Amino acid sequence: MKITAFAGGVGGAKLAHGLAQHLSPEELTIIVNTGDDFEHLGLTICPDLDTVCYTLAGLANPETGWGRVNETWNTISNIEKLGGPNWFRLGDQDFATHLERTRRLKEGKKLSEITREFCNAWGIQHAILPMSDSAVRTIVDTDEGELPFQEYFVHRHCEPRVKGFRFDGVNSAEPVIGALEAIESSDAVIFCPSNPWVSIDPILSIPQMRQVLENKKIVAVSPIIGGKTVKGPAAKMYSELGIEPSAFAVAEHYRNVLTGFVLDTTDANLEMNVQNLTIKTLLTDTLMNNLTDRARLANDVLNFVRSN
Ligand code: FO1
């Protein structure tokens, strides 16, 4: 079975890792959000891309989900001592990724090409594609005005109230080479349990993406369990936008594209509401606390895809 997975941050990376335990490199393509990429300390940082790559390579920090395991912090500490910005915690090993990526970008290489080279170096066999080779930047509209995504998310700890989002550059962005082909030849597309507003929507907002998704089997896994997000601000964003945060709200968010929806057993009471949107449902344990959980959830989702 061929699958294309859309993924954003930590939750998305975990399910993508689970899927990679069941599907061969020929069967799985992972398309990753680049809306939260930014330029910082003169470097191009691609947090979601790195989170997915580090997770599949077994290099991710298990405590934070982002950054590297067994990390040291000498460079950022010394930047701090010099009075430089320290709010975005870049570890020493992680710095190497950003330095080398920035150097290759300056040489004229594409982000997708560099990502492929890094994946080879890290021993990742599955295709991990940035959603586009051109820059798309998520801008958060807040009660304090517009903020670039990482400024809102990390520097301001998601404190300003959210009013909306826009994805700068998306209208002229093209999907990366191979993305449309992967989707076309897939039996289904899986939206990993990533933030719908700022992880999956940027991918969906690329003009040619919508077209290729038409008439596809599309299954989303809810990142909201029992009205709360496992990690990250999705539930807070829903509340601030005047929507009660729930797995149902996620299904409704995607209702025009989804054929199937996976929600946690905790949310059994919402299953009928989702089915009333003419979306098929799977109720299962969606929390991923360890590697076994990732593989088990991926297996459940793949069985659901096969039988629907
Ligand atoms: N998230 C934080 O909350 N604080 C950080 O200092 C931070 C540093 C960081 C460094 C590299 C990286 O790849 C990710 C990092 N993240 C950090 C996570 C990241 O900014 C967000 O989780 C994603 O952009 C949202 O998906």
Which pLDDT does position 3 carry in this prediction? 98
Residues 6 or more apart whose CB falls under 8 angstroms from that of 215 comprise none
CA 138 from centroid of its chain's CA atoms? 13
Find where tokens 């690329």 sit: 206
CA neighbor of 194 nearest in space, from 185, 186, 205, 203? 203
pLDDT of residue 130: 98
Give the global pTM: 0.98
List of domains in the chain: 3-37+125-138+170-307 (3.40.50.10680)
Task: State residue 257's pLDDT score.
Answer: 97
Cβ-proximal residues to 77 (8 Å cutoff; 6+ apart), any chain:
none
Atom of ligand 1 nearest to the CA of 88: 6
Q: Is 178 left (phi over 0), alpha (psi -120 to 50) or beta?
A: left
- Name all residues whose Cβ lies below 6 A of ligand 1: 8-9, 36, 47-48, 50-51, 66-67, 88-90, 94, 150, 153-154
The pLDDT of residue 56 is: 98
Q: Give me the residues of the chain with pLDDT under 70, please.
A: none
Nearest to 58 by CA among 127, 123, 120: 123
For the chain, give the mean pLDDT: 97
CA of 94, closest atom in ligand 1: 11
pLDDT value at position 174?
97
Which residue has tokens 């004229």?
108
CA 120 to chain centre: 21
Measured from the Cα of 199, ligand 1's closest atom is 26
Cα(95)–Cα(50) distance, rounded to whole angstroms?
11
Q: Return the pLDDT at 231.
A: 85
How many of the other CB atoms lie within 10 Å of CB of 107?
8
